[in-house]
Amino acid sequence: MQTANLSRAPAPERAPARLFHILDPRVLTRAQLDELCDLTTRVRILAKSRIGARILQTLLPHKRAMLYFVQPSTRTFMSFNNACHILGIRTSEIRDPSTSSEVKGESFDDSIRTFSSYVDVIIMRASGAGLAAQAAAAVDASRRPIPIINAGSGQDQHPTQALLDIYTLERSFEHRGGIEGKTIGFMGDLRRGRTVRSLAYLMTNYPGVRLVFIAPAAFQISDDIKSHLRANGVEFSETDSLHEVLPGLDAIYLTRLQTEWDVGEESASFDHRRYSFGPSELGRLKPEGVVLHPLPRGPELDPSVDADPRAVYWRQERNGMWMRVALLVKIFGVEDELPER
Ligand code: ASP
């Protein structure tokens, strides 16, 4: 049986490498990222035509997915739900824990094993950092190991968001050599936001990239991420001044204040005026720079920015669905059934 951190399925020898559990972005290689980006473009283009959409529909009608989302979600839930339907996968869901037998005292592991009796993949969002890994360990120990996809775990990780962010950055820099060598700023509540943590991990796959973390000291990126970047030779800096670094950025990734994790009044000290992006910041961004945001937005991102072609966050949101289609294609190993471009 696999351990919780393995990303590859127990495939017979000489079978093409497959993805299995998607728990932590650190296990993804550059080759896998490039393949997923390529697959994302292929399914995105294919889905545009009626015949292409029909081909996608025939890929996985024999599979069922469980969407276990007991923490709030709009985009990740909807994009996974639609990604499944694009591929013909049937879905069932639990969004409210009070409707599951966990309220009768059923353990988390037993609940996961129960889901795995009925479906072929569990896509889960939970409030605890290690819960997706625990779910993977539970199914690995069973006679029916099925893939677990972490769709956001507490303040810890959000690997599929990081994948769609990579795809959006690669597309944005398509004619400028891709992500490699670019300077990317991350601004906001970097300490408690899981998306930046996951994306920072994936950045180790892109030589020459420079990361700039922009936040007040109390909300700066955590030491564990910095250690990982250092260990992988990724150049990074920290600052509390957007003003100083903005003209040097190729991309800025904005994030909201994660007030839901407050245990006291932590968020009250966050000065939105210093860490927000509006018309005047847009005026100082490079003409070919891009603005990303995992959404939902708060006061850090002025809606007037939406109209600027450098604002790519609505495209980023939609890319999430296509990247999740590609991920499911890869997990179930049906990529060779896709027509060539
Ligand atoms: N939607 C993202 C997440 O689930 C970003 C956020 O909520 O701030 O982490």
Kindly report the backbone phi and psi dihedral angles of residue 277, in degrees, each rounded to the nearest multiple of 5, phi listed first: -130, 120
Specify whether 63 is catalytic.
no
Ligand 1 nearest atom to the CA of residue 74, by list position = 1
Orientation of helix 159-172 relative to helix 30-46, angle to 10°: 70
Catalytic residue among 48, 104, 273, 341: 104
Peptide bond into 296 cis (omega under 30): yes
Looking at CATH, the fold of the domain delimited by 25-156+320-334 is given as Rossmann fold (3.40.50)
Burial 153-168 (b: 16+ CB within 10 A, else e): bbbbbbbbbbbbbbbb
Report pLDDT for 150: 98
Helix pair angle (313-331, 159-172), 10° resolution: 120
Residue located nearest, by CA, to atom 8 of ligand 1: 256
* Pair of tokens at residue 42: 């292929």
Other CB atoms within 10 A of residue 189 CB: 25
> Domain coordinates of the chain in residue numbers?
25-156+320-334, 159-258+270-318
Mutate to test the pocket of ligand 1, among 158, 253, 261, 324 (most ligand atoms within 8 A of CB): 158
Strand intervals (E) in 241-337: 251-254, 290-292
Identified catalytic residue from 76, 91, 160, 183:
76
Q: Which residue out of 21, 42, 158, 293 is catalytically annotated?
A: 158
| Closest ligand 1 atom, residue 258 Cα | 8
Ligand 1 atom closest to Cα of residue 73 = 4
Domains 25-156+320-334 and 159-258+270-318 share a fold: yes
Q: Is 143 a catalytic site residue?
A: no
For the question of residue 104 being annotated catalytic, the response is: yes
Pocket of ligand 1 (CB under 6 A): 152, 158, 193-195, 255-256, 294
Task: Report the distance separating Cα 100 and Cα 156, nearest Å.
Answer: 24
Q: Which of 74, 124, 295 has most ligand 1 atoms within 8 Å of CB, for mutation?
A: 295
Question: What is the dotted CATH code of the domain comprising 159-258+270-318?
Answer: 3.40.50.1370
pLDDT at residue 103, as a whole number: 81
The residue with tokens 């990529």 is: 335
- Of 21, 44, 125, 171, the catalytic one is 125
Q: What is the pLDDT along the chain (341 residues), one digit of tens a residue?
A: 333 343 444 443 334 467 999 999 999 999 999 999 999 999 999 999 999 999 999 999 999 999 999 999 999 999 999 999 999 999 999 998 888 888 888 999 999 999 999 999 999 999 889 999 999 999 999 999 999 999 999 999 999 999 999 999 999 999 999 999 999 999 999 999 999 999 999 999 999 999 999 999 999 999 999 999 999 999 999 999 999 999 999 999 999 999 999 999 999 999 999 999 999 999 999 999 999 999 999 999 999 999 999 999 999 999 999 999 999 999 999 999 999 87
pLDDT at 48: 97
